[in-house]
Each structure stands twice: as C-alpha cells, then as structure tokens.
Amino acid sequence: MKIIDVRCATIGQHPVVRLVTDAGISGWGPVESYKPYIKPHVLALRDALIGADPTNVERVMLRIRQRGAFKPYGAAVSAIEIALWDLAGKAAGVPIYKLLGGKVRDRVRVYNGSIRQPMAGHQPEDYARAAQQMKDAPQGFTIVKQSLGFHSTMRNDIPDFHYSEKRASNFHGVSDRGLLTERGMKHMLACISAMKDVLGDEIGLALDCGPGMVVSDAIRLARAVEPLNIMWLEDMLSGDYIPFVNADVYREVTRASSTPIHTGEQIYLRQNFKQLIEGHAVNVVGPDPCDVGGIAELKWIAEYADLHGIMIAPHGTGNGLLGLAALVQVCATLPDNYIAFELPSGKPDWWHDIVDGLPNPIVKDGFIEVWDRPGLGVNLVADLARPYLAADDAGFFD
C-alpha cells in the first residue's frame, strides 16, 4: 500500500487531513478547531509522503517529524501521524490500540473540556452555576475542569485583578501576565470555593489558571487550595501557545505545595518533556495528541512519566470527534498513571451526524467504552459531509 495523495479541508470548524492510498482506503487525521490556518502546513509535507507505505508509521514519521514545532505548528505532523495509524489499523483489520501494544482498560475516563454553557460572569455565583451545570450533565462526569484567572476574561473583567498592563485581545493565546493584587487572589479563591461547595467530594475539580501567573502567586494559590483537594492546577506559568517549558521554574511551585501541578498541552515531541519529567517539575503532564506529534508520541511520554511517578491527563478540548477517537485508542493503552483525557466534541453539532462509528451516548458515567473496529474505528460519511465543504475543498472526498 502506498500514499498517493495528501489532502486537507476544514469541515465546520475542524481541519481534517486525509491520506489517500492506492488500496482504496483513506486515513483521517484531526486538527484542533482553533487552527483553520493549518492547511498550507499540511500540504507542505505532501512531497515527503507520496509513495510511502503508511503501515511503516515510524519510517514515514522520520521524513517529517523535524518539520513540526511547539503549538500550533506541530499540528500538521501530528494529524498526519494519526492518519498513518488509522491506515495501518485498517490495513491490518485491527483497532489502533492493538498496534500500540494492546489495551490495558476496556473503558477510558474523560473529564469535561468542551461541554459547557457560556459563563454569565466571573463572580463566585457564576462559577457555582457553571459547576452545577457540569455536575448535572448527562455524561456523568467524575472530573470537570474550569478556567479562571489568566485563562479567562476574569483578568480584565474584575477591577484591579492584577498589577500589570492589560492586553485584552480576541486572538487566542494572547494573555496578560503579572502579579495578582490581594483582591485578585481573594476573588479567585472565592470562585474556587463556590465550585467546590457545589461539587463536594463527588466530582473532582481541575483548574486551568494561565499562563500568566508569577511563581509567588502560583505557590500562594497552590497552598491556599490544599484543603480543597483540587485535582490539579494547570498551566499557571506557561502553556497554551507559549513555545517553551520552564521546567526549573515549575519545579519551584511543585515542591512548595501538595496540590498537583499540571502542564504540557503546547509541547511538541517527547524531547521537550524530558526536563519536566526527569526533574519532577510537575505532578501531571497533559500532552495533546494533535500537537505533541501524534498518539505514539503521547504513549511514549506517558510511559516515561510513569517511570518517574508522574501522572498524565491528556489535553484535547478542540480536537473534534476524530480527535476523540484517537484519544480513546491511545488512552486505552496507557499505564496506570493515566487519570482522564479532556473530552472534545464536534463543532458545529452536525459533526455528530457526519461521523460513523461513535457510541451513542459517547460518554456514560464519565467513561467511554473502547471500541474494536479497525483503525480509529470511526469514519467520515462523505455523502453527508460533502455539503459542508468550502468551494476550494470540493474535491476532498473524490
């Protein structure tokens, strides 16, 4: 089997990579919905892929892996890697998890990332209402995550929240950074307490706090929430679209508190997790398969983290339904340092109509049952998806 074409189209809000083969089967690769500009990066790798046998996944990846970078520029390589595994599984007639060493769990825990109502504001009662909505969700989540502080518009909407210059922007990944005021810190803690009052000890609460916090504030926050048994504090110092790790700085925060510290969604490749893991700089790593270099890369990181007593909770909120399938396949194979992955959803909702193979309901009691169909185990239904293609992507399914 040989790759004969590489295509990329944005369907709804989700860019999708299609590897076309001479065997008449295609491999699908997901890209985060936040990256509509990724198509040229995918097509720039086309010449390196044409003629390659997609079932030799690692051999093919050696041709292109060096062309990626920290989020968002690892997305093209990551999507291609996932599409290669999809093809390899389809060619062998087995699910991807079989090719990654087999599953160690029959169902995978997820936490809420994408299924939420818009926040009415940034007062404690608004966060309590959001927590109640997530608690009442039919998916039965056992872990939920909420954004606040520098990972929300709280930083601009709450007067005198921090001392630094405000850089309000609609461009995702641009945030303020600086020292919190006493009022700002107290406000964050009031919002966290309001959520915990709703969730109690029934549902774990994780918090996405930055990037943007300074070390002293990160330590103060981590220590202040110790009695609340927060699942983790995520990306307080760096993360999101910041193209470096700062492992030595994270280590200061991690060593100062018993509250678990989490980062990693923006990191590309295992090499860039080396300092975080070997230096015990965090308690939880959160690579995203659609940014880190793919699903085999994520599995390698999980295994290495496990050797060092570090947990893993993969990122994935914007990865769509194809990304959800990829996360199910790889997370079924991870060691017991696995906590849960961040649940993506299709945007818009009609994405659920154009993908075949997902369970219904997808999530039950906070878990997804691992399915056994070949490859990713899901497929785009061309006849249903074709009407949603842009004019310049009209030949995507041909």
* Tens of pLDDT, residues 181-207: 999 999 999 999 999 999 999 999 999
Q: How many domains are contained in the chain? A: 2
Does residue 70 sit in the same domain as residue 105?
Answer: no
pLDDT in tens, 23-68: 999 999 999 999 999 999 999 999 999 999 999 999 999 999 999 9
Which pLDDT belongs to residue 116? Answer: 84
Contact 203, 144 (CB under 8 A): yes
Confidence check: pLDDT of 82 > 80: yes
Q: What is the pLDDT of residue 114?
A: 84
Domain carrying residue 57: 3-93+381-393
Kindly state whether residues 385 and 367 are assigned to the same domain.
no
- Residue 398 domain-assigned? no
Query: Are both 77 and 107 inside the same structural domain?
Result: no
User: Both 316 and 183 in a single domain?
Assistant: yes
pLDDT tens-digit readout, 140-181:
999 999 999 999 999 989 999 999 887 766 666 666 889 999
Are 147 and 17 found together in one domain? no
293 and 269 Cβ atoms separated by less than 8 Å: yes
Tell me, yes or no, whether 178 and 41 share the same domain: no
Would you state the pLDDT for residue 349?
94
Percent of the chain with pLDDT strictly greater than 90: 94
Proportion of the chain above pLDDT 70, given as a percent:
98
Helix 247-256, helix 215-224: angle, nearest 10: 30
In this prediction, residue 113 carries a pLDDT of: 78
Query: Across all residues in the chain, what is the average pLDDT?
Result: 96
Query: Does one domain contain both 64 and 154?
Result: no
Would you state the structure tokens that stand for residue 23, as one six-digit string?
A: 């065997």
CATH of residue 348's domain is 3.20.20.120
Here the CATH number for the domain that contains residue 46 is: 3.30.390.10
Q: Is residue 45 part of a domain?
A: yes
315-333: per-residue pLDDT in tens?
999 999 999 999 999 999 9
Provide the pLDDT for residue 25. Answer: 97
pTM, two decimal places: 0.97
Looking at the chain, the number of H-run helices and the number of E-run strands are 15, 14
Q: Are residues 301 and 159 in the same domain?
A: yes
